[in-house]
Amino acid sequence: MAFGDAGNIRYNLKTGTFNVIQYGHEAFMDIYAVAMVNADTLSTKSYEIRQYNKIAITDGFGKGTRHTIVLTAPGKPMMKQVFYTYTGRNYFLTEICFQGAALTTNYMMPLIGHFKPLTGGDVRSLFVPFDNDTFISYNSKLFTTAPVMSAEVGTVYANDSRMGIIAGSVEHEVWKTGVETQANATKGQIKIWGGYTEEAITRDKIPHGFISGNTVRSPKIFVGSFNDWRSGMEEYSKANRIAEPPFVFNWTKPTPVGWNSWGVIQEHIDFDKTVKVTNFFADSIPAFRTGNTAYIDLDSYWDMMISHGDYSKLKELADYCRSKGLEPGVYWAPFTDWGHGGGPDRVADGGNYKFGDMWTQTGKGYHDLDGARALDPTHPGTKGRIAYVIGKLKACGFKMIKIDFLGHGAIEANHFYEPKITTGMQAYKAGMEYLTEQLGSQMLIYAAISPSMASGRYVHMRRIACDAFKSIENTQYTLNSVSYGWWQTYLYNYIDADHVVFNDEKIGANRARLLSALVTGTWISGDDFSKTGQWTERIKKYYQDKDLLELVKNGKAFRPVEGNTGTSASELFTKQVGKTFYLAVFNYSKNEKAYALNYQRLGLVATKITAVKEILQDNAIALNNSIDLKLNAEDAVLYKFTLK
């Protein structure tokens, strides 16, 4: 079964296993599939009869072929192992399904076997988190005999040569998917399956929910070997957006820039402070716009401005923002009960349902995380509350909404109100589709804490990490997620680095924090502009810089140069836009550092450079056999190369 430029899947109909050939070498070997169906372990290796057929297909991936291995045996449900191949795609997709009577499963593994040893030095296996909660980090671990777990997608790569293999789910409406990789004496081992739960990763306290029916199907899995693992991860991200196209309306407006109140003001937000912030944007940084637009976004505690269901003060504030040429934004967490300590008998907005009836039941208790209790996304009380609050916010005229703690809607539960929904991801799909329908096309939709891969259908913009503020440590934490999750820039319209706060930090830390946002692709400030401080003049300078504003128009994340920093971050990020090549350099350490950067490693051709400019500060650079520079402790620089 041919795929891509020179890929081949070689399936052995006698054994029920297959090998994958790419670039003239075996990339995967002895691969098979296995599942637990009605408590029976069923494997492609254990069926007696295997028949092959194929059919031409055309779908979002292009023109291709669907190859099906039909496996039958007495007393077993029919098993189908399906491969999707496309001439223009250097990867393939695979899934398994079973057909029979009253089938039940919560464990389906479309791919288990081996892959070739990677050459090139410094081999890593990447842990990808399921979400961005609890200040979790990506981790590029040394590839050893110790198993490495990863959520939804796994990659093993040689950092020096950048060659790597990737396997990950491109469907997230039913299953949570796990990937396990480890080394043995001669080759790598890999497993990828639907039905993965682990409390520290997926937040679930109980096993994955079951799916049932006369046909049960696994998630569809992306598989490939790549000369540059970074390109492979970008292809994986794009494949997700093809396999599960956006449910949300298409965003065609410019890259979002603006302000969010949680950066500094936090729970002290009020009407007067927001008016002063709005005035600062209108009067002091009028050039800080994309397409003549910037957002003034109220985070948590805006409800202190409403009383007994009266949203008139909030509407007055939104009207004031628009009168100043700015777009008003707001915040909400649709699947959480923050007041659960007040007991189960409180009545939720939008109906007569009690919160206790809406709580998600897990095991013998409820799902509590981050101080909030999860609500069943399928419950009519949850839906009524969503319709009520979103209706009020739309009537106020808000043009942006930051939705938070969405992972609470994806948790596995004892049961859901809607009986046809039996897994956490099915509940998440139902809840997010309902929320998105209520929002309509009025607002830019921004996800904060949320499942990384499953949220791409429902929002325009997603925060790449957990809360980050002003320090160099915050910058490094954010850039860990950019170093290893930048590829999500192709799953969402935009990914975001959270509130950029200058506050009382040194100028170097300010530059680094600002640049951490720009390399992520967007620009949301968080300082308290209702008063003046050392940040005021710095903001006026940087936030109206023409080169920085030109850069953010592109809206896409930079690529990391290195992928061997564990839970830390790459120091180097690059991006090319037309004939402009950008290089961002970060020094997270407390000491000055010298850099001698290799052109080829950066992806920059020295003979094509016609000019170079440092944007954030006057930092000398020497273009010799390498790019030589020195950088102060806890600081960052951005170079703009003009190419022939």
Check pLDDT > 80 for residue 185.
Answer: no
| Residues listed for the chain | 644
pLDDT in tens, 522-549: 999 999 999 999 999 999 999 999 999 9
Percent of the chain with pLDDT over 90: 97
pLDDT at 363: 93
Instruction: Let me know how many helices (H) and strands (E) the chain has, helices first.
Output: 12, 40
Q: In what order do the strands lie in the sheet with 627-631?
A: 593-597, 627-631, 622-623
Q: What are the C-alpha distances in Å from 388 to residues 79, 309, 438?
A: 46, 10, 9
> Distance between CA atoms of 360 and 217, rounded to whole angstroms?
26
> What's the CATH code of the domain at 181?
2.70.98.10
Residue 55: beta bridge partners? 66
pLDDT in tens, 310-341: 999 999 999 999 999 999 999 999 999 999 99
> What's the CATH code of the domain at 630?
2.60.40.1180
Average pLDDT score over residue span 409-429? 98
- 491 neighbors 453 (Cβ within 8 angstroms): yes
Distant-in-sequence, close-in-space partners of 64: CB < 8 Å, separation ≥ 6: 3, 56, 57, 58, 84, 85, 86, 87, 89
Band (pLDDT 50/70/90 cuts) for residue 618 is: confident
Average pLDDT score over residue span 428-449? 98
- 465 neighbors 481 (Cβ within 8 angstroms): yes
Residue 586: beta bridge partners? 636
Band (pLDDT 50/70/90 cuts) for residue 407 is: very high
In a domain, 35, yes or no: yes
Q: What are the C-alpha distances in Å from 238 to residues 63, 235, 438, 481?
A: 17, 5, 27, 18
Backbone angles phi, psi at 561, to 5 degrees: -85, -40
Which residue, of 215, 243, 271, is where some domain finishes?
A: 243
Give the amino acid at 613.
K
In a domain, 521, yes or no: no
pLDDT in tens, 66-107: 999 999 999 999 999 999 999 999 999 999 999 999 999 999
Angle between helices 380-396 and 312-323 (to 10 degrees): 40
Q: What are the C-alpha distances in Å from 601 to residues 59, 124, 598?
A: 36, 18, 5
Which residue, of 214, 243, 272, is where some domain finishes?
A: 243
DSSP state of 517: H
- 220 neighbors 95 (Cβ within 8 angstroms): yes
Residue 124: beta bridge partners? 142, 157
pTM over 0.85: yes
Average pLDDT score over residue span 340-353? 96
The three state secondary structure string of 63-102 is: EEEEEEEEEECCCCCEEEEEEEEECCCCCEEEEEEEEEEE
Percent of the chain with pLDDT over 70: 100
Band (pLDDT 50/70/90 cuts) for residue 398 is: very high
- Both tokens of residue 344? 């189960």
Give the amino acid at 542.
Y
Strands (E), 89-152: 92-105, 107-115, 123-127, 139-142, 148-151
- Both tokens of residue 39? 């408590």
In a domain, 404, yes or no: no
In a domain, 321, yes or no: no
In a domain, 509, yes or no: no
Least Cα distance to 367 among 410, 408, 407, 338 occurs for 408
> Distance between CA atoms of 134 and 145, rounded to whole angstroms?
28
> Distance between CA atoms of 202 and 131, rounded to whole angstroms?
7
pLDDT at 117: 81
Average pLDDT score over residue span 207-229? 98
- How many other CB atoms sit within 10 Å of the CB of residue 477? 22
Q: How many domains does the chain have?
A: 2
Range of the structural domain that residue 171 is part of:
2-243
Which residue, of 243, 270, 295, is where some domain finishes?
A: 243
Distant-in-sequence, close-in-space partners of 305: CB < 8 Å, separation ≥ 6: 270, 271, 313, 314, 317
In a domain, 86, yes or no: yes
561 burial via Cβ count (<10 Å: 0-12, 13-18, 19+): buried
pLDDT at 435: 98
Residue 451: beta bridge partners? 131
Q: Alpha-carbon torsion 502, 506, 508, 513, what sign?
A: negative
Pairing of strands 139-142, 148-151: unpaired
Average pLDDT score over residue span 423-444? 98
- Both tokens of residue 297? 């976004």
Strands (E), 436-579: 444-447, 461-463, 494-496, 523-525, 559-560, 572-577
Angle at 146 between CA 142 and CA 151, to 5 degrees: 80
In a domain, 274, yes or no: no
pLDDT at 52: 98
Give me the helices (H) in 400-456, please: 424-439
- 178 neighbors 202 (Cβ within 8 angstroms): no
Average pLDDT, the chain: 97
Distant-in-sequence, close-in-space partners of 625: CB < 8 Å, separation ≥ 6: none
Band (pLDDT 50/70/90 cuts) for residue 184 is: confident
Strands (E), 488-562: 494-496, 523-525, 559-560
In a domain, 44, yes or no: yes
The position carrying tokens 């937040």 is: 203
- 114 neighbors 30 (Cβ within 8 angstroms): yes
